Amino acid sequence: MKKIKLGVLASGRGSNLQAIIDNIEKGLLSAELTVVISDQAGAFALERARKHGIPAVHAGAKGFKDKREEYDALLVKELQKRSVDIVCLAGFMRIITPLLIKAFPDRILNIHPSLLPAFPGLHVQKKALDYGVKFSGCTVHFVDEGMDTGPIIIQAVVPVLDNDSEDSLSERILKQEHKIYSRAVQLLAEGKLKVEGRRVLLSDEGKRGEDFLLNP
Ligand code: GRF
C-alpha cells in the first residue's frame, strides 16, 4: 500500500513533531514525513527534522505582514512540491487562511492542549487553572477557518490536580498529545474518518471503544 505523505508545520520546540517521527520509526504510524516547515528560522522543530534526514524548510514570514494569503501560497507550493497528502499543524503559531485550507480539504489537522471548545487560543493551561476545571486534556481536530474550531477527531482527558502549575499541567497534557496526534493521523490515513457537519465518525464504529482507550 502506498504510504501517506505528511507535512508538518511547526514554530517552536517540536515535541509533537518528534512524537510523530518516533511513531513512524517504531512502525506505529504508517506514513512518510516528507517535509517540516517553520516560520521561525531557529525553531528546534527544524533541527529535529534535520537529525532524522527529513527536509526542513524555513519559510520566513517577513515581508508577508498584510499578505497572509501570499504566505500561505508559499506553504502550499512547498507542501505540494513534496506531494504531501496530510498537513499537521504542531505548534504552528500562525492562523492559516482559506487558501491553504482549500488546497488540502479535510486534510489539515491541529493539536490543541485543552478539551475544546473549552479554552481555545493561547495561555491555555493558565485559563484552565484560573477557571478551576477538574479535568483538562487535549484535542486533535480538523482545521477550519476559525481559531481551534474545526471538527473534533480525538480527545484525551487528564486530571487537574490541586497543586498543579501551568508547567505540570502542560507536561501531563503533552504526554497525551504525543499519543493521540499520531493516532488521529493514522485513522485519517487509513480513510477511517468521516466528517458529517461538526461530527467526525469512525467508519469502523464497532472498534471505537477499544481504539480509544488511552493509558494514563
Ligand atoms: C502543544 O501544546 C500543542 O498542543 C500546541 O502547541 C504546543 C506545541 O508544542 N498547539 P510542541 O512544539 O509540539 O512541543
What does the pLDDT look like over 36-92, one tens digit per residue?
A: 999 999 999 999 999 999 999 999 999 998 999 999 999 999 999 999 999 999 999
What does the pLDDT look like over 147-158, one tens digit per residue?
A: 999 999 999 999
Q: What is the DSSP letter of 82?
A: T
Which helix (H) or strand (E) element contains residue 171? helix 166-189
- From the list 112, 123, 141, 178, the catalytic residue is 112
Q: Is 12 close to ligand 1, i.e. is its CB under 6 Å away?
A: yes
How many DSSP H helices and E strands does the chain contain? 7, 9
The predicted model gives 129-158 an average pLDDT of: 97
CA distance 43 to 155: 27
Residues in the chain: 216
Banded model confidence at residue 206, pLDDT cuts 50, 70, 90: low
CA distance 119 to 152: 14
Q: What is the pLDDT of residue 207?
A: 55
Average pLDDT for the chain: 94
What does the pLDDT look like over 11-41, one tens digit per residue?
A: 999 999 999 999 999 999 999 999 999 999 9
Q: Is 137 close to ligand 1, i.e. is its CB under 6 Å away?
A: no
Q: What is the pLDDT of residue 2?
A: 80
Q: What is the pLDDT of residue 210?
A: 47
Q: What is the pLDDT of residue 203?
A: 80
Q: Residue 52 carries which side chain, given as an amino acid letter? A: H
Active site residue 112: yes
Integer CA distances (angstroms), 28 to 32, 139, 186, 189, in order: 12, 20, 9, 13
- Residue 55: burial class (beta carbons within 10 Å; 0-12, 13-18, 19+): middle
Q: Are 156 and 133 in contact (CB under 8 A)?
A: no
Q: How far apart are the first and last CA of the chain?
A: 33
Q: Out of 108, 125, 174, 175, give the residue to mutate to test ligand 1, the one with the largest number of ligand atoms within 8 Å of its CB.
A: 174
